Structure 1
């Protein structure tokens, strides 16, 4: 009896990744989890990030794992924060997904997804592709603006300044 009462109080999410992606932070229900994998790799630089959005107590939280695996491996996990960027803001994940949708390239044997989105509750997925180095870097540059808005003080991907030149005397 108590078990059936517990089950009847559970609200099943009607979130649909394909339909709700561009308003996901508004459409998610408590218990929903969306993972966004961003492939930052280009040429000899190998890097990726995993953004995990979780809705709990009517609030969307974001936790981010970043890894650079070229040259020497570095990784970080940023603390869980409230995702408070309106989906109407140009620098929101929702608007970035709209941009990727308009600029998406077909999957081929030689390209890999620049962004992959997984809705864990229903095992739904969507990927966006680039076509060549220039297209890849343009999409990553735009993502960098979004990342900087969410994590303005994070320096994980910031390149160190080169040392000053030595002049012969």
Structure 2
């Protein structure tokens, strides 16, 4: 009986998880500071254009008061390639010009209206409360400008990753 009571108390203590106060709309531009332990934020970036099909998923998880980032990248054009980068600490301060928070501020300022035919450029999911926010582009020029800016952020986080780097063309053959 004593073990049964201990089991009930133990399960009550560990089954109660505190509800997070994080709100996607309110805390988006400071998410790395505002996330609480157990929060998960997922960001999908759509790199697709014309015949090039590609996307990335950035997953931010806060554990033990530290925000971790894991990234999955996929190119589906011609031959499928994918990679999952190792989980790492996201230690870019939200005031840095090369932070996700500042990129979201830029996207908010430059966001285009949603249409039925366009898929979003960036979608942010806050899994704990099933909240989401989408950002759109206005054609290829606008998309490439936003993705170029995103590329600077990606380079800051993963300076040695060459997944999206185009292969060098072969040297010219002057023997013919």
TM-score class normalised by the smaller sequence:
over 0.9
The CA deviation string for residues 28-79 of structure 1, in whole angstroms up to 9 with x for no partner, is 0000000000000111110000000000000000000000000110000000
Residues of 1 paired with 2:153 and 2:123: CA distance? 16
> How many residue pairs are counted as aligned between the two chains?
168
Superposition RMSD in Å: 1.2
The reply on whether 1:121 has 2:128 as its aligned counterpart is yes
Aligned to 1:42: 49
Query: In structure 2, the residue corresponding to 1:154 is in which secondary structure?
Result: coil
Residues of 2 paired with 1:100 and 1:5: CA distance? 42
Aligned to 1:85: 92
Residues of 2 paired with 1:129 and 1:38: CA distance? 11
Residues of 2 paired with 1:93 and 1:148: CA distance? 12
Q: TM-score, normalised by structure 2?
A: 0.92
Residues of 2 paired with 1:20 and 1:149: CA distance? 23
Query: In structure 1, the residue corresponding to 2:121 is in which secondary structure?
Result: strand
Residues of 1 paired with 2:93 and 2:12: CA distance? 38
The reply on whether 1:165 has 2:172 as its aligned counterpart is yes
5+ residue gaps, structure 2: 1-7
The CA deviation string for residues 77-108 of structure 1, in whole angstroms up to 9 with x for no partner, is 00000000000000000000000000000011
Q: Aligned match of 1:68 in 43, 68, 75?
A: 75
Residues of 1 paired with 2:81 and 2:14: CA distance? 44
5+ residue gaps, structure 1: none
The higher radius of gyration belongs to: 2
